Structures are given as structure tokens and as C-alpha cells.
Structure 1
């Protein structure tokens, strides 16, 4: 096949994986407005709801840790195609659960499907980056943010108009349609592993992959803190009203989505290490400023600045994870995504406990230190830069 033919296939694969990111974000965003209905429908306490949400996170983390080995065996393209179909039904499973017990099972499955698809689509994005010889990871995550915005924005209206179950059915149909359109163009690796090459379930011995995982963890922990605690910080410690307090995460996530679409161009021009260093410093300054801000509007502006930096830190870490020599892309991605997502799924609980004793201001100041550590470790992301390759070469 000619170079132009390879390039055309890679470009179609680029938009196919972008569609998969959008679908994953769309389903996840659609879950958010379903949460209050689950509380009322099952007549459970907020504590029980919290346990159900924790089961979602547990399912995601377990699936992430295993998915890399399926990718090493079957390839990211095949794994993504299969998992994405199942993921389309995840929200519907939860919406159909008639009691707490079945809801708990559904939440574990839903979280596992979302988590496994996350690893598969990030690994496939690395494959496409290699084929194109340029970065697409940041904009792929931008499509995830866009999907979450659409799903979350329309979800409340859909539930109010059609009911929670009809809303879940509509989400399933839309997700399946998106997956079906993208599936035929998903890039697959040149050849799957043979039976002799198929790896057993073992953790990588290269310590570098765990250091990159630490970078992802330290990048995503502040993101989880802003998601769960920024509004409460503005209300309880800075005296903001609810409408103003809600702007903190809105500013953070909105700026983050925009910067992710711009991030690939910046990274292609300046390189992954330089981009990561600049992003980490911006994020560190923003988080530090938010913790020191005496006024709500200053804190909101600082959270937005933090979003500018964090937006492209995780995509760069994921690209570095998928390009480590001697480690299959799927396994490297599995380790780093599992460690990174603990920052969103697990760390916020500890942050809430600490803040109860010392306040959120000092916590956000402390989190800026994690972002500065990422700045110091930025040189480890050099494997995120590469030249193009083609299947068969």
C-alpha cells in the first residue's frame, strides 16, 4: 500500500477513535443526571448512594488493570470494538435495576465497561499517533469532554421529559449508532500476538512505567478535587452563593475542553516534555492561587488557569505510557490509567477527610505541590514524541 493509502487509513482511524472518546464521554455525562433519580427510585440514603458510586469506581479500576492484557492478546482495535458495544448498554443496566442489590451489580459492570473502554480507546489513540506521526491524544480527550458536556447538558431535560428509563434507552441507541459508525474505521494493529507471545497476567518490571503512573496520579488528583470540592470550598470558606460556587468547576472544565483541542498543535510544535513542563507550572500556579484566594471570583479565575494546565498533562502522560520500549502499549496504558484514575475515583474521599480538619484552602495549596512534582518529573515524558510508522514496516 502507498504512503497516501496508509495516511488515509490512519486519518479515518483518527476520527473513529475520536468518536469512541465522544461516546464514552457521552455515556458518562448522561449518568450524572441519573444519579438523583436513582436516589429517589430505590429509596436509599446518600450514604448508600455513595457506596454504589464507589462500586462504579471499583469496577472501573479492576477492569482497567486487566484490560491491558486483553489488548496485548487481541490488539487495541479489536478490544475497543467489542468493549464499546457492551459499554453502550451500561447505563441502561443501571436504569433497569429494580433494587439495591441488582443496582450494585449493575454499577460494578457499568464501571468496568467504562474503564475497560477507556484503556482500549487511549491505547488505540497511541496506535493512531504512531501511524500519523503526530499527536492526537489531547484532542481525543477533548472529544471526551465534549461528549460529557452534551450528555450531561441534555440528560436532565431528557429525564424530565421522558423519564429515567426512556432516557437510558435513548442514550443506548445513540451510543450504539456512534459506535457502529466508528467501528468499521477503527485502526487495528498489524498482527495479534501468537499463542506463544501472549503474555500472562504479570505487572511490568520497568519502574519507569510506574513513575509515569505517578505523574498521571498527581495530575488527576487535583482534577478530582476540583470536581468534588471546589463548589463547597467557595460556599463554606469564601462565602459564595450556590450559583457563583458552581462556576468554579464550570470554568475549570470549560477551559480544559477548549485547551485539549488546542493541545495537540502545541505539543507537535514544542514537544511533549516542554509542553508538559509549561502545563504543570500553569496548573501549579492556578491551584496555589485558588488556595490563597480571598475572594470567590479570584478563586474561579485561578481554577480556570489550573484547567488550562491540567488539560494536556494527562494526555501527554498517556501517550508516554503507550510508547514505552519493551512494554506492550495496552499493558503500559493499563498501569498508568489505573494509577491515574485513582486520583479521581479514590483520592477525593481522602481529600474531604483532610479538609474537614484543616480546611480546603490548605488542601488546594498542598495539591499545587503535586503539580510541581509533575513539573520536576516532566523529562520522563520524552517517549510521547515519536516519528511516523506504517503497518508492515
Structure 2
């Protein structure tokens, strides 16, 4: 394939992987409004629900390195197709579970296919970036955020009007439609992205694990705003429920906006500079939110933090997928697994800490994690590449 045909294929592949990011976010977001019906139907306690949600996370963390291993043999295109078609049915399986044991299996598998798809679609986004020599990771993640927003926002109304099972069937049909539109245009990995050694061994490069720590230190603050910001504003800043709910809404909206323009920012200023400034902005917002005496100032600060955090993970993922001498799939699976483990483990740890110290100190400490990410910014240099004209 000559250069012009490769670029055209890469541009089609860019929209194909964007569609699959949207699909993954849409499936994940569509699960949220199902939760109250799920609890009522199975007649389970909050503790049991928490354990089932934990199984979703365990499934995802289990599948992520498996996805990386499979990509080292078959490339991201094949693995992404397999996990995507399986993920389309994941929510339907959960909603169709009629008892707790079956629901536990369904949640584990749903988390697994979502997690495996997550790693492979990020690896394929790196393949697209290499093909067209342009950054597309931030906007790809923006499509994920958009899918989650639509899935979560429309799901409650649909469930209330037509029922949980009808909603799951429609979500499955929409997901299959996105898969069908995308599958033929998914790009193959460039030859450099394939592993020459198929043995299932951990990489020896220290950098890839440091990038994983950077991902972890970024995802913990991001997940903390989702899990704890509203409670912080209610308990420690005296806001009402409606006001407290704006904290994550504006944080997520700011992230989505910045991710849609983030590729242009990164192409103009470079990955390292963008990550360094972004992490400082995110830290400053988190610090002000923790120290703010006013709920409205805290909400505005969370939004500023969202603007900063938005592009850090896409840049880290690009750096992981472009490590010299390492298969893209290998680097991606290590970093995504380390990063997402923070979302799995952090909520309970933060809840325990907040019970003893209060959320104010927690959010100030989270700002410190983002400062550490800033200091490690040079490790993302492999995310930079020569741009095509």
C-alpha cells in the first residue's frame, strides 16, 4: 500500500476507532441507569451490589493483560473486533440475569469484555496515530465521554418508559450498529507494532511501569471526583443535593470539551509540554476545590481540574503504545491495567481516609499526585512524533 492509500485508510480508521470508543462509553454509561432496577429485581442489599460492581472491575483488570497478550499475536484489529462484538451483548447478559450467582458471572464477563475492548481500542488508536502521523487519542477519549453521557442521560427515561429489558435490547442493537459501521475500516497495526517475541513475559523497561504509575496517579483523582465530590460538598461545604450534583457534571463536561480540542493542542505544543501544563492545571483546580470555603467556588475549581486532567491519560496511553523496542499492545496493556486498578482500589481507600481526616485533606492530597505526574512529564516524550504535512 502506497503512502497516500495508507493515509486514506488511516483517516477511515480514525473514525472507525472513534465509533468504537463511543460504543464502549455508551455501553458503560447505559449500565448506570440500570442499577436501581437491577437492585430491585434481584432484591439485593447495597453491600451485595458493591460486591457485584467489584466483580465488574475484577473482570476488567483480568481481561486487560489478556487483551495485550492476544494483540501481541494477532494485532489490535482482530482483538478489537472480537472484544467489541462480545461487549455489545454484555449489558443484555447482565439485565437478563435472574439470580445473584448468574448476575455475578454476568458482571465479571461484562467487565472483562469492556476492559479487553478498552485496551485494544486504545492500542488501535495508537496504530492510527502512527499511520497518519497525527494525534487522535484525546478526541477518541472525548467520543468515549460523549457515549457515556448519551448512554447515561437517555437510559433513565427509556427504562422508565419501556422497561429495563427493552432498554438493554435497544442498547445492544445500537452497539451492534456502531460495530458494523466501524469494523471494515479498523486499521491494521503497522509492522513495528507487532511483537517479535510471543512469550508471555512482563516487559523489562522501567519506563513503562513509571508511565503506569502516572496513569494511576491521574485516574485516582478523576475517579474521586465521580465518587466523592458530591458528598464532600454536602457534608463539608453545606450545599444541597442539586448543587452538589453539579460538581461531577461540570468536571465531566470540561473534560469532554478539552478532549475534543486536545489533539490540536498536543499537535501544536507537543505531548510533554501539554501533559506538564495540563497536570499543573489539574492540580491547581483540585487544590482550590479542597481549600474552598464555598461550594460554588469548589464546583468551578473541579471544572478547571477537569480541563487539566482531560488530556493527561490520552497522552500517557500514546506514550505507552509508542515505547521504543516494545510492542504497542504490551505497553498499552501494562499501563491501562495499572491505571484502571486505581479506579478499582481507590474508592474504598479514599472513603476510609475521609472518614478519619475529612474530604478537604483528601482533595488536597490528590492535587499532590498530579504534581508528581507533572514532575514525571518527560517520560511521555515517546508520544511525540513527526507530523505529516
Query: What is the TM-score normalised by the length of structure 2?
Result: 0.98
Displacement of 1:6 after TM fit? Answer: 1.4
Matches within 5 A, 1:52-201: 52-190=52-190, 197=196, 199-201=198-200
Indicate the residue corresponding to 1:276 in structure 2: 275
Answer whether contact 1:74 1:193 (CA < 8 A) is retained: no
Q: Secondary structure at the match of 2:284?
A: helix
Answer whether contact 1:63 1:115 (CA < 8 A) is retained: yes
Moved over 3 A (4+): 190-194
Displacement of 1:82 after TM fit? Answer: 1.2
Answer whether contact 2:138 2:311 (CA < 8 A) is retained: yes
Per-residue CA deviation, residues 359-383 of structure 1 (Å, 9 max, x unaligned), is: 0000000000000000000000000
Per-residue CA deviation, residues 72-112 of structure 1 (Å, 9 max, x unaligned), is: 10000111011100000000010000000000000000000
Per-residue CA deviation, residues 327-386 of structure 1 (Å, 9 max, x unaligned), is: 111111000001111222221110011001100000000000000000000000000011
Answer whether contact 2:193 2:328 (CA < 8 A) is retained: no
Indicate the residue corresponding to 1:216 in structure 2: 215
Indicate the residue corresponding to 2:313 in structure 1: 314
Displacement of 1:197 after TM fit? Answer: 4.2
CA distance in 2, matches of 1:302, 1:80: 37
Indicate the residue corresponding to 1:349 in structure 2: 348
Q: Secondary structure at the match of 2:237?
A: coil
CA distance in 1, matches of 2:329, 2:346: 24
Cα 1:308–1:324 change in 2 (3 A) is same
1:246 paired to 2:245 = yes
Answer whether contact 2:127 2:190 (CA < 8 A) is retained: no
Quote the RMSD (CA, aligned, Å): 1.4
Answer whether contact 1:32 1:152 (CA < 8 A) is retained: yes
Q: Secondary structure at the match of 1:33?
A: helix
CA distance in 2, matches of 1:283, 1:190: 34
Indicate the residue corresponding to 1:23 in structure 2: 23
Answer whether contact 1:130 1:388 (CA < 8 A) is retained: no
Answer whether contact 1:279 1:310 (CA < 8 A) is retained: yes
Per-residue CA deviation, residues 275-301 of structure 1 (Å, 9 max, x unaligned), is: 000000000000000000101000000
Displacement of 1:190 after TM fit? Answer: 4.6
Answer whether contact 1:317 1:384 (CA < 8 A) is retained: yes
Displacement of 1:66 after TM fit? Answer: 1.5
Indicate the residue corresponding to 1:296 in structure 2: 295
Per-residue CA deviation, residues 160-198 of structure 1 (Å, 9 max, x unaligned), is: 11111110010000000100110000001256999x945
The runs of 5 or more residues in structure 1 that have no matched partner are: none
Matches within 5 A, 1:218-233: 218-233=217-232
1:328 paired to 2:324 = no
Displacement of 1:3 after TM fit? Answer: 2.4
Indicate the residue corresponding to 1:261 in structure 2: 260
CA distance in 1, matches of 2:196, 2:274: 36
Answer whether contact 2:193 2:329 (CA < 8 A) is retained: no
Cα 1:107–1:192 change in 2 (3 A) is farther
Query: What is the TM-score normalised by the length of structure 1?
Result: 0.97
Q: Secondary structure at the match of 1:110?
A: helix
Displacement of 1:200 after TM fit? Answer: 2.1
CA distance in 1, matches of 2:256, 2:191: 34
Q: Secondary structure at the match of 2:118?
A: helix
1:4 paired to 2:4 = yes
Q: Secondary structure at the match of 1:282?
A: helix
Cα 1:309–1:70 change in 2 (3 A) is same
